[in-house]
Structure 1
Amino acid sequence: MVNLPKRGRGAVTAQLSTRFALPAREEDGDWLDMAETLDGPAPKLRTTVTEEAARSILSRNNSPDIPFDRSINAYRGCEHGCIYCYARPTHAYLDLSPGLDFESKLFAKPEAAKLLRKTLARKGYTPAPIAMGTNTDPYQPIESQYRLTRQILELCLETGHPVTITTKSDRILQDTDLLAALAARKLTAVAISVTSLDPALSRKLEPRAASPAKRLAAVRQLSAAGVPVWVNVSPIIPAITEEWIERILEAAAEHGAQGASWIMLRLPHEVAPLFREWLEVHFPDRAEKVMHLVQSMRGGKDNSSDFFTRMKPQGVWADLVRARFNKARARVGLNNQGPELDCSQFVAPDRHGQLALF
């Protein structure tokens, strides 16, 4: 029986993790063939949101591969459904599928801003840019309901704390007022991820994310508001999206972006089999070629998780992409480094929500 993609979803199945010895759930193939005849069509897969009583909100890391040491993720899971998302394996910790569960069974942390306030108020806290959008998108659809990202930005503006955002949603424009105010004080920078300029391809890769045209429109509007915007050509997928590199950079410059960066496709843990399954459904003619190129950049494996190498693909094909990107970026006049944000304006809040008095 061939699995067919579900409309509006990235993953093909609710593939479970085997990393934590969790009990597997299997359905009999003959029964699946009979189920629709006996019971009618399966119910539409709907998104659910569970509110999580988190104990903390600021995550720390000491990775040498990423340019920040702290981040916030006010949501778990992401309805955008990007098949390549390296955050998918986090749902395995919840005994949920990194496949369809990741994009349909979401978690929100309503106390995110209050928890951050407590953290910023701690004696000895030293400010450094907080990264948002490093795991799941802070502007996925449920942000319109919960407004957790906006609450965090309001707190950053109140306390003079620098913050960066990575997103592939034009929903970020709802917070242009806050982002412009933060940018005027050199407290923020935004990265908009663009994988291709083909809306049909984007619907397959990232079915509930904004179209490429809407993302570029967000770049233009944020830039016009004084917000420093970068375009992140991420991920670059060999033989799928790499043909768009130059055209994305040209469009980024035309829409007012200040700089651009790129990340090669990464397939940690459960993402690799989910991506292989997606390839067989959507690009069976080149699935083998894509995985051969991926492995050629990762030491013969689907993924490399080692520090210093996981974000730096190796090999001839990787070198070619790197040279193409650097040449095109220089040609259109985009920067290769983001702006330095100002950490000197930070004033710690007190626990009651008012700025400390001096």
Structure 2
Amino acid sequence: MTAPYPPHGRTPAGPPKWGITLPLPGLTIDRHRFLVERLPDLGYTDVWSAEGGGTDAFTPLAATAAWSPGLRIATGIVPVHTRGPAVLAQTAATLAQLAPGRVLLGIGASVPAHVTDINGIPFDEPFKRTRDVLRFVTRALRGEHVAGDFDTFSITGYRLPHPPAEPVKVILGALRPGMLRLGFTEGDGAITNLLFPKDLPTVLGAVGPQPPGKELVVKVFVCPTEDTDHAHRASRPFLAWILNREPYRKFHEWLGNGELLAETHERWAAGDHEGAQKALPDEAVDGLFISGSPEECRERILQYHLPGVTTIQLYVSLPPEVFVSRSRLLDTLARLGPAAG
């Protein structure tokens, strides 16, 4: 069932868009065409990609635009430090030629591990850099000539030779109030992730009134299996790692989850990474990386559909037995997603 109406003066939620993050773990992008072609039949409206230490964000979206031309394509997210502002604008404009009116460019600060540790780029002034890139990209995508000094970079002068004929939405990966408000005041919305359903009213309260057309995307992590041991083995190392990145540690402290995660933070800070994994409470593992039968997972996913949430973006970690056939993989995603309702 849809989650209860929250006290933020919002109108009742309409049907959200449903997206899936590609590539699926364990399946290289060249093996996704059959899946992408069938996603609309399963009720999915979007394909999302992300960029950290694995697949780049844009190649899966270009392939999706060719394989299933009705889907929205979106990045969630691209780090603002690892590409120049003009390159980001060019890439989004090029994608818009393949999917006019169906492109969302999600950008954000990311974490030092994805910026400095593997790219050798300083993780300097993440909020200001995100704000400056947002301002540059939104102007460039409107076809404006952009020149001058921003706080974190200077532009001699740039204009897109072929700005998108239909708008590209630019949204921010946002966790705490400053970035959330920036996404809604100067961008087209925000993406939040790795939070409990009970935390969403706090995020919605920080966002405030949402003008029509703005996006609030909630990324939900799912492992559709009734083998709890497998689900924990698949999710616990990732959760221990990400929740001990400074932006996520501060995010959960703001949400009021600091005490729940205190021991894993203490052990990680002491250099005991294995101990930090073990100290992560099952309550956190099960709440932040949903597992169970596809039907059970779907019921819990729907808890994130509060008024104000426009899109549910799934990150799906499938158990090995689902990969035995294409039909089983498609059946699992069908039972997990919007068409099952």
Q: Shorter-chain TM-score: which interval?
A: 0.3 to 0.5
Between Structure 1 and Structure 2, the one with more strand by share is 2
Per the normalisation by structure 1, the TM-score is 0.37
Higher RCO structure, 1 or 2 (CA under 8 Å, sep 6+): 2
Between Structure 1 and Structure 2, the one with more helix by share is 2
Per the normalisation by structure 2, the TM-score is 0.38
